[in-house]
Amino acid sequence: DPKIIQKPKYLVAVTGSEKILICEQYLGHNAMYWYRQSAKKPLEFMFSYSYQKLMDNQTASSRFQPQSSKKNHLDLQITALKPDDSATYFCASSLPGHSGNTLYFGEGSRLIVV
Amino acid sequence: AEKVIQVWSTASRQEGEELTLDCSYETSQVLYHLFWYKHLLSGEMVFLIRQTSSSTAKERSGRYSVVFQKSLKSISLIISALQPDDSGKYFCALWERGNSGTYQRFGTGTKLQVVP
């Protein structure tokens, strides 16, 4: 059974709309992350959370808002979607992030904005 | 500038061969960790092996091993006895103890195809 669940797996959205990507982890980790992978680019770090608090934010746009309603949840709300937001979004978790622990990833949510 | 560089975007080998995937990185930190991950065709991203900057041990995990050249800021992943299931995309990642020490930075990845 997958230990990190991401929903939906695939998503097509219209430009200007808003979507939420869901992530739940069942590894007992306290640190959670969002990464984005666009074509021919490195896996790009977006946010890190530890104990439901934001630790790092490397996303320039405020259209991306992480939401942590529970310790093992880190959802990603994206507003005013643009075609450039098309990418696969990976959620990950680890033991405390400040120690450089191994990341465990979900299978990704592939978003296409038309 | 990118901190983690994987020069080769693709590679192809025959089953049974050995492959070396190269990765170079930039850091001014004394303590850092380097990771190799594999992105499976199913979409899953899995951890393969890790190297700590302070370690001189030659890390190995099953058919995976690394060559860590600290002075050159280079880490190579070696996969022995390649199998078709080794096909996928391999990512090198860097974690540094420093101001932004809560996340790992990734390279662009190398896509490997193993031909039976």
∠ CA B60-B63-B66, nearest 5°, is 40
- In this structure, the number of other CB atoms found within 10 A of the CB of residue A107 comes to 18
For residue A16, what is the DSSP state? T
Instruction: Give the pLDDT of residue B102.
Output: 74
Instruction: Give the pLDDT of residue B99.
Output: 64
Block means of pLDDT (10 residues each) for chain A, 114 residues, are 90 98 95 91 91 89 94 96 96 83 93 97
Counting every residue written for chain B, the total comes to 116
Instruction: Give the pLDDT of residue A99.
Output: 74
Instruction: Give the pLDDT of residue A98.
Output: 67
Give yes or no for A42 touching B (CB within 8 A): yes
Q: How close is the nearest chain A Cα to the Cα of B47, in Å?
A: 7
What's the CA gap between A63 and A31, in Å, rounded?
22
Give the CA count within 13 Å in the CB-facing half-sphere of B23. Answer: 29
∠ CA A92-B113-B94, nearest 5°, is 35
Give yes or no for A35 touching B (CB within 8 A): yes
- Residue B109 pLDDT > 70, yes or no? yes
Which of A102, A107, A111 to probe by mutation at the B interface, max B CB count within 10 Å? A102
DSSP string for B43-94: S-EEEEEEEETT--S--EETTEEEEEEGGGTEEEEEE-S--GGG-EEEEEEE
What's the CA gap between B95 and A96, in Å, rounded?
13
Instruction: Give the pLDDT of residue B101.
Output: 66
Give the mean pLDDT of B41-63. 90
Question: Between the CA of residue B69 and those of B46, B52, B55, B105, what are the distances in Å?
Answer: 24, 12, 11, 19
Question: Considering only CB atoms, which chain A residues are within 8 Å of B107?
Answer: 42
Q: How close is the nearest chain A Cα to the Cα of B46, in Å?
A: 7
Give B106's strand partners. B93
What's the CA gap between B3 and B28, in Å, rounded?
11
What's the CA gap between A97 and A105, in Å, rounded?
14
- Residue B62 pLDDT > 70, yes or no? yes
Give the mean pLDDT of B72-87. 96
- Residue B97 pLDDT > 70, yes or no? yes
- Residue B11 pLDDT > 70, yes or no? yes
Instruction: Give the pLDDT of residue A39.
Output: 81
Give the mean pLDDT of B13-34. 95
Instruction: Give the pLDDT of residue B103.
Output: 87
What's the CA gap between A11 and A78, in Å, rounded?
12
- Residue B4 pLDDT > 90, yes or no? yes
Of A42, A50, A90, Cβ closest to residue B2: A42
